[in-house]
Structure 1
Amino acid sequence: MSNPFLLWNDTYMNLNEHIVMERIKDDLLDSYDEELELEFDDHFGDGLAAGDRDARALEERRLARRVYFKELFRLQTELVKLQDWVADSGHKVVVIFEGRDAAGKGGVIKRITQRLNPRICRIAALPAPNERERTQWYFQRYVSHLPAAGEIVLFDRSWYNRAGVERVMGFCSDDEYHEFFQTVPDFERMLTRSGIQVIKYWFSISDDEQYSRFLSRVHDPLKQWKLSPMDLESRRRWEQYTKAKEIMLARTHIDEAPWWVVEAVNKKKARLNCISHLLSQIPYQDVSRPLIELPARENNADYIRQPVPKDMFIPELF
């Protein structure tokens, strides 16, 4: 069977094979859990980077990853403090993540939620509306996901679908599109008046960067599921998406809920910059907690532990 990494079609022949393979390797490394990647890099980094030009380049890459991890762990510690303050104060936060396909929204959301309590900080990633939802008020299906007191909700795409994919792909009428822009500023002002803080991020990547990330997904079996027919069509309609984005930012950048643009060509820098900015937008403080003492285990003389049948255990393959 042919090696899928060597099957280049005419569309990809203009890219340098060495650069593409290095990029795919870096993306694979980046997909591992952060702590595991540190161990993986320490023990196996030399073998994985055998194609690097020299040892200095390898060491620079290793040092850059360590700086990234150090800063990420520091920021995640602050996110835990933020979470504690939100829960204690009853603050309500909505964070919207928008951007082109493969812009890195999911990556930063993963790093934000990685150490947090999912009961306090949760993700709303809604699928395409069903037949019933298409007949509802447009914002209705999003309202049920808004936070209660002491909650943070991260929208991995949001009601701004109407200004982006729905407009470009023709999934809404002109009247629905224009009505959206009439309604969304008032909708977001209503949210802020009710005590919900709304923070909106647009992840910005270049044409070449999106192409490289799509190519990485093509050649990574663990990421191919991310590349949908809609993604491929969005690639073809790059300029239409650009125009839609420009209109969206211009018409929905309001004082109560402004847009913030994240330069996302470098994924690791984008994650750190976005998390750092998010922390700066919320006036959280340290929340003092009482020291936790584990209670002594009770021992009852009449307690007899019943054995579990051997056939109930899963096979120990490892």
Structure 2
Amino acid sequence: MSAPTSLQVQAFLDAFSLEVSAKAMPALGAEATRIPRGTTISIPWLASEDDDARLAAARRVRELGFEPMPHLSARRIGSRAVLERFLQRAANEAGVAQCLVIAGDLASPAGPFADSACIIKTGLLETSGIRIVAIGGHPEGHPAMRAEERWQVLEHKCRAIEARGMAPMIITQFAFDAGIVLDWLHALRARGIVVPVLVGVPGPASIARLLRYAAMCGVGASASMLARYGISIGRLLGTAGPEVFMDRMAAGLTEDHGLVSPHFFPFGGIAQSLDWIGHYRAQASAACRSQVIQ
């Protein structure tokens, strides 16, 4: 695959989003001037935080000029009333108009919601002013579902969201193999699912930390997959950035892939991810100028 052009890199990076936990809000505030206004900031649901912390994070994101996207972890929500109260406060206090709905990691639901589809069916999202509903995508597969079942569930959720007057979006788990992601995107569009996709990208971090998060999130991290990402299995010290992954994504995307942009998981810190984004942009621009001069 040929190297991506500066325009390809720019197009892919233009609408990047970030995943930032409630406890990382001070770091987000410190770097806010380096992030375009209106950028989507995804706020994960963490068991160590309560709804007040999540709502405070959403308010802070809005104050900084960004779009808050809180996660709703279906199996962790104790009742319909709890969900309704959270959504109403999110709308009233932080102007939340988009969210990510996920099943969550509990084996048994704490309340009436077994999966994200159950939340969509309640009607509470649209009545609370939610306009964009993101759902999870799994290019590397899902431990509990076969491939055909995954596609059926994804199609069903997108149709259900649209039927309720909202716009669906897909956010994928972060991955190490751009080829797998590109193939998944091709299959997604071939099925007629044309919604925007945010592709999960691990921000630069220590290799040990990347592998730790991969294990926690069920992301494939075999020796061959790491090699395609640019990490040698024999070199597990130091840091790694997503240069190879991003190059292959930017070069491989075509108009047929539709709206696709990176969703950064800043495992090594927000500042480090923003440094990397700026450096990557600058490198692509310099390469383009060099080609013009030659």
Which TM class, normalised by the smaller chain length?
0.3 to 0.5
Query: When the two structures are superposed, what TM-score results if normalisation uses the length of structure 1?
Result: 0.32
Bigger fraction of residues in helix = 1
When the two structures are superposed, what TM-score results if normalisation uses the length of structure 2?
0.34
Q: Which has more radius of gyration?
A: 1
1 or 2, which has the higher strand percentage? 2
